Structure 1
Amino acid sequence: MIPGKDSLKTKTSLSAGGKTYAIYSLKKAEERLGDLSKLPVSLKYLLENMLRFEDGRTVTTDMIDAFGTWLKNGGKNPVEIAYRPARVLMQDFTGVPAVVDLAAMRDGLKSLGGDPEKINPQVPVDLVIDHSVMVDYFGSDEAFDKNVKREYERNKERYEFLKWGQGAFENFRVVPPGTGICHQVNLEHLGQTVWTAEYDGETYAYPDTLVGTDSHTTMVNGLSILGWGVGGIEAEAAMLGQPVSMLIPEVIGFRLTGKLPEGATATDLVLTCTKMLRDKGVVGKFVEFFGPGVGNLSLEDQATLGNMSPEFGSTCAFFPVDDETLRYLKTTGRDEDRIELVEAYAKEQGIWRDDSIEPVFTDTLELDLSTVVPVISGPKRPQDKILLTEAPEAFQAALDKEYGMGDQAGKQVAVAGADYTVGHGDVTIAAITSCTNTSNPSVLIAAGLVARKAREKGLKVQPWVKTSLAPGSQVVTDYLEKAGLQDDLDALGFHTVGYGCTTCIGNSGPLPEPISNAINENDLAVASVLSGNRNFEGRISQDIRANFLASPPLVVAYALLGTMTKNITSEPVGQDTDGNDVYLKDIWPTSAEIASIVSECVTREAFIERYADVFKGDEMWQQIEVSGSDTYNWPASTYVANPPYFQGMDARPGDPEPIEGAKILALLGDSVTTDHISPAGAIKDDSPAGSYLQDHQVPEREFNSYGSRRGNHEVMMRGTFANIRIKNHMVPGTEGGITKYNGETMSIYDAAMKHKADGKDLVVFGGSLYGNGSSRDWAAKGTVLLGVKAVIFESVERIHRSNLIGMGVLPLQFKDGDSWESLGLSGDEEITIHGVEDLKPQEELKMSIKMSDGSTKDVMVLARIDTADELDYYRNGGILHYVLRKLAA
């Protein structure tokens, strides 16, 4: 950290725990900005950042003054600022391509005559390997060991590369596989709430802030750490010392009152809030929780809410510092000195929660926690809340409207070699998975208690259900084992399959072959129930159409019931050993039972022990051998390859190339997510990516997932726009990554390569909420590698818009209610965008459409390059090219 020039003279000192720290005082800033007590706490973090980095160039006093103005207008006239997070967090799916890019930049800088060792993270970077474990084995005591062994077999080349990066780059640490989910490791160990750094003989204290290459970085908002997900492209720029260009956001205040009632879980609260905030419309905004109800939530509950921020659509979902923050820091083994600093700093800077002061917000909404009832969400969006009492009706509606099978209710088919059948609505995956809930002892212990009570009554999981438990960290196993609950979960098939993000990101592994065959041969709409945060189409399993988010105890209960077509609140979940009906209420734990085990079994000592050697890794990690060179030797690999971004790059950028007579690659509808665009999940043998791997002598058993191969652009570009559920309206009535080339139907990849051979640029049209979902950098990287120059949409999610610019793709937004449908496009048209060469931020451009009959339509579109920094990145062909040229100069 290099502090700025401090023209407002806000630098002062703070004493805490017998130590003295340099800080940038928000109280001193009031001499210029006026009373800041009602500024939202999340914005106080941003303001402190401006004070600390003010240099008169990237951060100016005008930016600082804008926070005083914000208080007067609630953020209605946003001002651009340059924000520098304290650190960067990565998981391996997005981290591998980021390190690939860094390695490629070292090669690129060398070719431009520069010193490759200049390419290093300028801020601390932690990469947690958590996304690579797949649930190949389940339902047995050996599942974890077997899955880890397969993980190392599949990912040997990736792990060699990451271990090389750990040694080659400064400021870069790797948390090895089998440790936990990056967000939970961040919450339990890496995050500090107040960060410190040494500079010129002084210790500076400032708010802990970060960006992460996973949209659920926001989970740590529950620990009063300001962070959010960005694409790998933005994260790489932040790593290399570039500020994150952003507009001071609107802040939506969410007032909480009351207390959760008996029987309601944190998951029910989260899904309720997700629906409320999506309906409110908070895309691109901060959400900050306040009010007396906050004091009735554990920090783990707050983290569960923070985690779901991407599902709201907000940038973050923030909680101020309070006594619960200090309690959690102590429980999770943080140093006493740090805890004393957090308390002193928060109270000095006015970032301590004070219910007597209601901040000024852009807008507010309110929830009485006592009104929360059990819910699930599905079948394909987190915001589609369903009252638990109405789940069968919701599935029947989906069977009719989503899948066109409403007349087939009750359809059952035989499973080869089994004495049972499967049918529409049967639950074939029940997974306690993902960071959303596995940070929260209350719901995991509730799941264990449901398992215990069910086991005592002799209940069994239905045989067609694939069960799994993927704890967020090894501490979870400690407290489940200490309480004896892991034995109960094991008895029902919920053995630990790995410590990582599994089912929630599509690493659910294959269903047993007879069940998969029965589903696909009979076109069944079966279901999954998972305690995750994402249930988009095609994400969980390619065999499963309907996916429902639920609390961990409900996941266990649905595994017993085995179907979404029965009412779990009123019909028996099974029969006991005497043949008596057992209902959900008979196996549901009380809040007192849960609280008693939490207080007894979740201990500071367990956290200290588990995190003592967090970067050491297991024996398999320690045995990986790597070279110590400053540049990577790029061995022949289908996992890691030198990308083409910097090949032939000039030292100076030219003007952006015009977009003239471009062909249309896809016409997409509303809510096309980055899961639809980006390669994700399993690789099919008959797909372009599958053909590529087979051409390189990779057998289908070793295909692994798209996520694990994100370091190889050849695989990834072949899987872009290839989701099995994506609907390209150029080919009506179909699903999957197909399009038309000169009237012939083929894969999107094949058509893109033919257009490239013809010398034609490409464009893609979308609808509203284009690119919502995970912060997937490959949704932008794959787009540009296919030859797409512009994407035109009705509205767009924040991260994906930024990523498109970061890769040199022009994002354009329709105006005045226009859409590709209202313009009558079929995909045969040619598109010209006028004025690209001398583009300005937020400029309106003319788009000329040459129709198939030879006529022309002209419409105005808005260039969604919002800031001057974004324009610099676009003009350079991307943010990495911009950084590389600056370093070379």
Structure 2
Amino acid sequence: MQYFDVAGTEYQAIDYAQGLGHRLTTLPYSLRVLAENAARHSAGGVDAALVADRTGAAVPFRPARLLLHDMLGIPALVDIMAMRDRLEAQGGNPAEVDMSLPVDLVIDHAMTINHWAERFALEKNMAREFEVNRERFAFLKACEARFPRLRVIPPGGGICHQVNLEFLGQTVLRSNENARVLIPDSCLGTDSHTTMINALGITGWGIGGLEAEGLLFGETTAVNVPKVVGLEVIGDPSHDITATDVALVVAEKLRALGVVDTFVEMFGPSYRRLSVADRATIANMSPEYGSTQVFCPVDANTLRYQRETGRSAETTRNTESYCRAQQMWSEGVDARIEYVQVVTLDLSAIGRSVSGPSRPEQRIDLDKATRTLALENEVEAARRVPVEGADHDIGDGDVIIAAVTSCTNTANPRNMILAGLIARNAVARGLSVKPHVKTSLAPGSRVVARYLKNSGLQDDLDKLGFEVAAFSCSTCNGMSGPLRPEHEAAIRAHDVKGVAVLSGNRNFAGRIHPLASRNMIASPPLVVAYALMGTILRDVSQDAFGMDRDGTPVTLKDLWPAAEEVDAIIDTYVTADDFISNFKAIGDVNDEWTALQTSTGRYDWAPSTYVSFPPFVQTIQPDPGGVAPLTGLRPLVILGDSVTTDHISPSGTITPDSEAGQFLIGKGVEPHDFNSFGTRRGCSDVIIRSTFANYRLRNEMVPGKEGSWTRIEPEGEVATVFGAIRSYLERGQQLVVIGGKEYGCGSSRDTAAKAPWLAGIRAVIAESFERIHRSNLVNMGIAPLCFPEGVTRETLCLDGSEVYDITLSDDLTGASLTIHHRDGSSDTTPLDLRLYNDREREIFAHGGLLPMAFRAFLGKKAA
């Protein structure tokens, strides 16, 4: 492996291109970055050639750093802390279990919008957040004290992806191993939307918490060299559209094309028309169409964003010098680059749009939203009911939540300034938000609050009820909080079919609020517009919001500002100094965090419903013992297509009548302190009770029922899913899950694999898997299996009464399924065992990543 001088000979770089010859010029930029990484992490750099071969071979990949958030970071840290204790108990050295990479953990997923549309909503929500999460936060601070390479950004600091984009990401940085060597910044994270960092020319994607643990333990991850789809950007966009509109078109196009397990790379004559903030909005939604990442090659806009957000002159200089020297600099179009397929994105053909009612890729032209989203006869015979104690009513199709939220859109100054100007113009015309709408503003960065305040736009947003309520994921993460009691009572009593509108990236059924029948993604200015309209049963693109003080109808056209006005505010109020001063003080934004005391030394596993010693660590044995047979399995659930991780292990509200709620009540926890499934992922007793606990789950074993229900076999008794789990665990009965296409799509969460493991599920058979969830299953030792082409649960006529035997080949490259029916007959069909390389087969043979890592640490002591 050779080095050469770069950046005025102050630094060196690895000559990854040595030996690639002419193939380098045909490689997409994303594969050039992958080749450089493979060169650094393979003997003699030979694996760079495997990337250039583009045959799908596995190459080693190790990121420069890791990004965690609290909901998925805590389970990973619980495992690591528990591994130390388990290793010590087995005679090993607990100090071996440490962090081999720089890690940033941002506490951003715990905030619930309990207070809104009031002056001190933010302060009250932050106080409540700390009150109910003190145990979790104390654990995180204890981890920070024990692991020198872990940095924790406290509650209220912003959303991890926006902090990553605005502050942490450097595009090019110094190697962790040799400070004189420059390398491309790369970042993997325990959230699928880690792809947002692609906008800065930084390769990165979401991984499971277990895979993150392996990287922390010093492992590389195996990446099969992916196909690269080119996203060609042409045309000039209208001022009437936002980056959200572009992102929704991309989600629709690429989900229809099918880009799972591929890289998508942007290029084209109009690539330069997209700012880094625009690119970030698009790249953030990569998980919504299934690609591994949406790579945005480094160009002049990258340097401009670095300067605008206060990066150092050295960072900007190194970025340009390195990328030009390593042929990673883009001018927008390079006809020599070969993509497996090219999808054209014509910016001039894009109009305003929204997405719904339950999938991000369900894009709808704004003027067609009403007829598309309205239920049968809803427009013609809108049903309205009184709200007790109020002077207004509520009805089907009403907007019950309007949330400007999520890193996807609040990282984009143009989106936020547009929202503020819509509010300013609405207030000037005498308009107000409808009283049944819960409004909230939760920026992903405190910098957003600064420029909204300094420009005066926050005053107008406040007047419409969009006071800053959080600097966190909030509503987008299912932490929307309660509605007003009188509204909840009316909705429940009359089964009102309300709608949630948010500027987020996920609108899955049951995710935003249990009382929302439909969830709609919209840009921040359109969220404000829908709050003003108060219903989806009127056309927000054309119909009047109301009359102004002169009796003149006011429409969206009247409220939409001129492009010059937006540009002037951005140029004046979005400054590098604000970014610099904000992130310089990022560790001091929460006084309660600063005052929190913690100990060092061995961690005290005190009884807790937030953090408990995990059974999958406690039961690890020193010897592998071979792959356990998968025979006599009973199905726990049989599910259809697009089952999300929200269905498998929800993140949102814990209700008193749920199994988790009953458990917490039994532990003396009052319902108002339940918090959420997501915040309690460090407690195995809650994790197991989250298994398929989604209120919108549809299990084909219990047709006609919605929610966490199944049948216990062979009795045929209908029970809650956890009731069935408990019964099967008592019998020692192993379980299987049957699914359809895109099983495990949605958020990256390892609890969607840990919960099934705790429940006794040892295999999942589906038509296809989402990338991260499949990886999480492998890392928990659960077999990911796919039906052969043309075979489904429906063609096999599965009803849940069957018993299944799964035979795995000795080399773990194939499998077969024998189905034993109730009538005594049986069928056998081949299955595709989705273990993609030798590394994954080794992990599975050990029973998962944690057992394999544990045995490696124990072996160091023996050696």
Give the TM bin, normalised by the shorter chain. Answer: over 0.9
Q: CA deviation at 1:648?
A: 3.8
Q: Residues 356-409 of structure 1, C-alpha deviation per residue, up to 9 Å, x if partnerless?
A: 41311111110111111000000000000100001110122xx24xxxx76984
- Residue in 2 that maps onto 1:24: 14
CA contact (8 A) 2:384 2:396 kept: yes
1:746 is aligned to 2:719: yes
Secondary structure of 2:10's aligned partner? strand
Tell me which residue corresponds to 1:3.
none
The question of 1:67 aligning with 2:51 is answered: yes
Q: Does 1:511 align with 2:511?
A: no
Root-mean-square deviation (Å): 1.3
Q: In structure 1, what is the equivalent of residue 111 of structure 2?
A: 133
Structure 1, residues 466-519: CA drift from partner, whole Å, max 9, x if none? 000001111001110111000000010000001000101110001111111211
Q: 2:37 matched to 1:49?
A: yes
SS of match in other structure, 1:652: coil
The residue number in structure 1 matching 2:570 is 598
Matched residue of 2:181: which SS?
Answer: strand
Q: 1:768 is matched with which residue: 735, 741, 753?
A: 741
Aligned to 1:777: 750
1:362-401 paired onto structure 2 within 5 Å: 362-396=340-374, 399-400=375-376
Alignment of 1:75-114 (within 5 A): 77-114=55-92
Out of 5, 14, 36, the residue aligned to residue 6 of structure 2 is: 14
Contact kept, 8 Å, 2:41 with 2:60, in 1: the verdict is: no
Aligned to 1:833: 806
Q: 1:669 corresponds to which letter in structure 2?
A: G
Query: Corresponding residue for 2:782?
Result: 809
- 1:158 CA displacement: 0.3
Residue by residue, what CA displacement relative to the aligned partner does 1:826-864 show, whole Å, maximum 9, x if unpaired?
10110001136x2423x2x22111101111111111101
2:817 corresponding residue in structure 1: 847
2:708 to 737, 750, 761: 737
Q: Does 1:442 align with 2:414?
A: yes
| Structure 2 counterpart SS, 1:12 | strand
Is 1:886 equivalent to 2:856 in the alignment?
yes
**Residue 223 of structure 1 pairs with residue 200 of structure 2:** yes
Distance of 2:501 and 2:590 partners within structure 1:
32
Matched, 1:585 2:534: no
Q: Which amino acid aligns with 1:468?
A: S
Q: In structure 2, what residue type is equivalent to 1:111? A: A
1:458 aligns with 2:430: yes
Offset at 1:198?
5.5
Equivalent AA in structure 2 for residue 298 of structure 1: S
Partner of 1:197: 175
SS in 2 for 1:65: helix
Whole-angstrom distance in 2 between the partners of 1:453 and 1:617: 32
CA contact (8 A) 1:679 1:778 kept: no
**C-alpha contact (below 8 Å) 1:654/1:875 kept by paired residues:** no
Aligned to 1:74: none
Partner of residue 468, structure 1: 440
Give 1:252 deviation, angstroms: 0.3
Deviation at 1:533, TM superposition (A): 0.3
In the other structure, the counterpart of 1:73 is none
CA distance in 1 between counterparts of 2:124 and 2:176 reads: 44
Identify the residue that residue 419 of structure 1 maps to in structure 2: 391
Name 2:24's counterpart in structure 1.
36
CA shift, 1:617, in A, is 4.1
Residue 304 (1) aligns with residue 281 (2): yes
- Per-residue CA distance 1:184-204 (angstroms, 9 max, x = gap): 00001001001213546x511
Aligned AA (2:138): E
The one-letter code matched in structure 2 to 1:327 is R
Counterpart residue number, 2:228: 251
2:131 to 146, 153, 164: 153
Contact 1:33-1:65 at 8 Å conserved across structures: no
- Verify the 8 A CA contact 1:91 1:129 in the aligned structure 2: yes
Q: Distance in 2 between matches of 1:711 and 1:139?
A: 32
1:134–1:509: 8 Å Cα contact kept in structure 2?
Answer: yes
One-letter identity of the residue aligned with 1:787? G
1:646 match: secondary structure: helix
Instruction: Tell me if the contact between 1:33 and 1:68 (Cα under 8 Å) persists in the aligned partners.
Output: no
2:217 maps to which of 240, 256, 259: 240
> Which secondary structure does the structure 2 equivalent of 1:545 belong to?
strand
1:869 aligns with 2:839: yes
Amino acid of the structure 1 residue aligned with 2:186 = T
1:650: Cα distance to partner? 2.1
Aligned ranges for residues 248-647 of structure 1 at < 5 Å? Answer: 248-358=225-335, 359-396=337-374, 399-400=375-376, 409-629=381-601, 631-647=602-618
Aligned residues: 856
| Cα distance in structure 2, aligned partners of 1:356 and 1:527 | 43
The answer for the alignment partner of 1:678 in structure 2 is: 649
d(CA) in 1 for partners of 2:408, 2:279:
11
Distance of 1:753 and 1:246 partners within structure 2: 38
- Distance (Å, rounded) in 2 between the aligned partners of 1:634 and 1:240: 22
Residues 422-478 of structure 1, C-alpha deviations (whole Å, 9 max, x = no match): 111100000000110010000100000000000001100000000000011110011
Partner of 2:640: 669
Q: What amino acid does structure 1 have at the position aligned with 2:553? A: D
Cα displacement string for residues 164-216 of structure 1 (whole angstroms, at most 9, x for unaligned residues): 0001012111000101000000001001001213546x511100001100110
Distance 1:198 1:718 in 2: 41
Q: What residue number does 2:688 align with?
A: 717
Q: TM-score, normalised by structure 2?
A: 0.98
Aligned residues of 2:64 and 2:175 also touching (Cα < 8 A): no
Q: Does 1:796 align with 2:769?
A: yes
Query: Which residue type is aligned with residue 855 of structure 2?
Result: R
Decide whether the 8 Å contact of 2:379 with 2:537 is kept in 1. Answer: no
Distance 1:692 1:408, change over 3 A: farther
Instruction: Provide, for residues 747-769 of structure 1, a one-character-per-residue CA deviation record: whole Å limited to 9, x for no partner.
Output: 11110121111121100000011
Give, as a single letter, the amino acid of the residue that structure 1 aligns with 2:51: F
For 1:306 and 1:441, how far apart are their aligned partners in 2?
Answer: 16
d(CA) in 2 for partners of 1:829 and 1:721?
20
How much has 1:646 moved relative to structure 2?
Answer: 2.1
Percent identity, aligned pairs only?
44
How many Å separate the matches in 1 of 2:378 and 2:472? Answer: 37
Q: Tell me if structure 1 keeps the 8 A contact 2:271–2:332.
A: no
In structure 1, the gaps of 5 or more residues are 1-5, 71-76
- TM-score normalised by L of structure 1: 0.95
Deviations along 1:551-580, one digit per CA (max 9) or x if unpaired, are 000000100000000011121012212332
What's the secondary structure of 1:784's corresponding residue?
helix
Whether the aligned pair in 1 keeps the contact of 2:173 and 2:185 (CA below 8 Å) is: yes
For residue 142 of structure 1, the aligned residue among 93, 116, 120 is: 120
Could you tell me which residue of structure 2 aligns to residue 703 of structure 1?
674
Paired residue type of 2:551: G
Task: Give the letter aligned to residue 514 of structure 2.
Answer: Q
Alignment equivalent of 2:663, drawn from 668, 686, 692: 692
Q: Secondary structure at the match of 1:834?
A: strand
Flag the 1:281–1:701 CA change in 2: closer, same or farther, 3 A: same
- Distance in 1 separating the partners of 2:380 and 2:213: 50
> Which runs of no fewer than 5 residues in structure 2 stay unpaired?
none
Q: Tell me, in whole angstroms, the C-alpha distance in 2 between the residues paired with 1:822 and 1:356.
A: 47
How far does the alpha carbon of each residue in 1:250-296 deviate from its partner, in whole angstroms, 9 at most, with x for none?
Answer: 00000001221121111111111110111111011100000111111
CA displacement at 1:67 relative to structure 2? 2.5
Residue 791 of structure 1: SS of its match in structure 2?
Answer: strand
**For 2:439, what is the secondary structure of its paired residue?**
strand
TM-superposed CA distance for 1:522, in Å, is 1.4
